[in-house]
Amino acid sequence: MDGLFNRSLIPRPILGVTMNDLGRRFLFIKTQETPNPNSLKFIPGKPLLEEGQTVDFPNISTASNSPLSKMLFRIDGVKSVFIGHDFITVTKTDEDVEWKLLKPEIFATLMDFFATNLPVITGTVDSTEEESVENEDETVQMIKELLNTRIRPIVQEDGGDIVFVSYEDGVVKLKMQGSCTNCPSSVVTLKSGVQNMLQFYVPEIKAVEQIEDELEIRTKAEFEKFNKQLEAKRNKSAESKE
């Protein structure tokens, strides 16, 4: 997320593997780094959703309608899955989980999934486009238009998304998804990138704030609790060896 509107001309490294699907076709899956070191973007070279659509699965309990996400969540070390038009962003639990060990499992899972011809999402996918509604405030309409045309496409290139939540008393509230969630530079991006752009076109905006829904807060608390328990076990094990 760093340098959202000041991109370097140096491209991020892209790696990939090729699969021959029983001789019928070739599938080349590329990986692309994101500004979040715990998130990696996988690009299968085929559309997964409609243009501009994204779906966020912060944990396995939210993935009941996505066969692809459910398969990825079976991999030890996968924290969340985010699906865009032509990419999948996988976020690992923490820095202790190494990508060099996790990536081969993700590649294998993606290859197995695409060989099954199962749908990525079952049922309908709610549009993530910030559509204006009848009698909506002109300021809100402008904010949504700027998000859709100037901001979200750039963020999606980084494997994430920004969703409009509300606008009240000059404060815009947004929700970060995919690689943007818990990204070390997301706060900087929100203030120096998103807020500055919105304020340039809509001067009455006073601030832009990031919000977390109840599920994200609960999930984060559960992970913190788990990490503390794991750390306590490690310390106890280390003490017993001394």
Burial of 160 (0-12, 13-18, 19+ CB in 10 A): buried
**Span 123-182, pLDDT tens digits:** 877 655 555 556 688 999 999 999 999 888 888 888 889 889 999 999 999 988 888 887
Instruction: Check whether 35 has a pLDDT greater than 80.
Output: yes
% residues pLDDT > 90 (the chain): 47
Count other C-beta atoms under 10 Å from residue 193's C-beta: 22
Sheet with 207-211, side-by-side order of all strands? 160-168, 171-178, 207-211
CA distance 213 to 188: 20
